[in-house]
Amino acid sequence: MSSAIVMPKVGLTMTEGKIVEWRKSVGDRIEPGDIVFVFETEKVSFDVEATQTGVVSKIIIAEGETVPVGTEVALLDGAGGAAEAAPDKSSAPEPAAPQPAATARTPAGSVTASSKTRATPLARRIAKSNGIDIAQVTASSGPIKKRDVESYLSGLAAQPAARSASMTVPPSEIAGGRLVKLSSMREIIARKMVASTTEAAQAYMIVTVDAGNLVEARGRLIPSIEKQTGVRPTLTDLIAKIVAVAIGRHPVMNTRWTRDGIVWLDAIHMGIATALDDGLVVPVIENIGDKKLSEIAVQRRDLIDMARNGRLPPERMKGSTFSISSLGMFGVEEFSAIINQPESAILAVGAIIDTPVAREGAVVVRPMMKLTLTYDHRIIDGAKAAAFVASLKDVVEEPLLALA
């Protein structure tokens, strides 16, 4: 009996997956628990296990291809019933709700209603050959057609910076070196960064703050929080809490731009930019304004551990309303970050540097830190951004205002 293995659904928000490696080939026999293939989605990799015995008779989807959830990716002969595959529990997070991980009875090519962009084959070929994500193209009517893609390309031609960032260079034009195929993570990062720089009116504001009291507050809090939770609070934890307090005073920082108007969000969900070996993820601490520093420290530790071990669920990387990015641990004194769309602002945190400064007519050495705010000028005016930065400086220099 022949049956199919399909792209499984992991988590509530997954709509497609990219096959990065086939662990089994045509003719290979598989047993329950064998890893059949590996796929990526939303910057996370998953091992997919077989749940039945059989022989792989055909591989339908090649490595490097992205397909919607439910698409048949391989055929299995000799199975006693429906051939199923499920993400390996040892390396993948549990779904947020019970999901059929893979079902052999799903017809080839069938997907959920919202998981696939409707487009003609010719439109898809033109988009792919130009390095364009078909989902970015707007259809004039019905499915996306050739003229819609050509219109989109014409628009990019008027934006040299955007076009150079989004178009691919043919390998034949690269002299020397080696070609490494883009991972799903790198594709997502590239798409989001280009979109952010072309769709938002990004402006910048820098402030230098005295971090002496911040460092002292952390030193005093470490013993009690570590004893209570087993986690040492970091400066990032304190800054995240402080930023939430400042946003509470200036709610315009917690907004989103939409075609219909500006959305003012109630809850503050803080994104923490986290570097991985092969890219960047932004895990989210939800409702950070309502959390104690000890809770923030524990959640930050857990989220970063999951991210670095490839177990961070897609749901924990969505919904942020403001993000912070810190490179201080690398000695970077000052930098500007790109807004994490669809947010309106992001804060870049530099290193704490002992610096000579004037205090009451005398020169003293103080631990100084530079904070750079990147904000969307479509929503946030310069004066409002300056007011937020001033509040941020006040609370960083007097952290008890945030931690009391």
Q: Which residues are catalytic?
A: 377, 381
| Cα(225)–Cα(106) distance, integer angstroms | 50
Exposure letters 169-196 (e unless 16+ CB within 10 A, then b): eeeeeeeeeeeeeebbbebbbbbbbbbb
Residue 342, token pair as written in the block: 């669809």
Contact (CB, 8 A) for 308 and 300 = no
The tokens of 201 are what? 């009116």
Q: What's the rounded Cα separation, in Å, for the pair 387 and 380? A: 11
Please name the residue that has the structure tokens 């549990």: 94
CA distance 54 to 31: 7
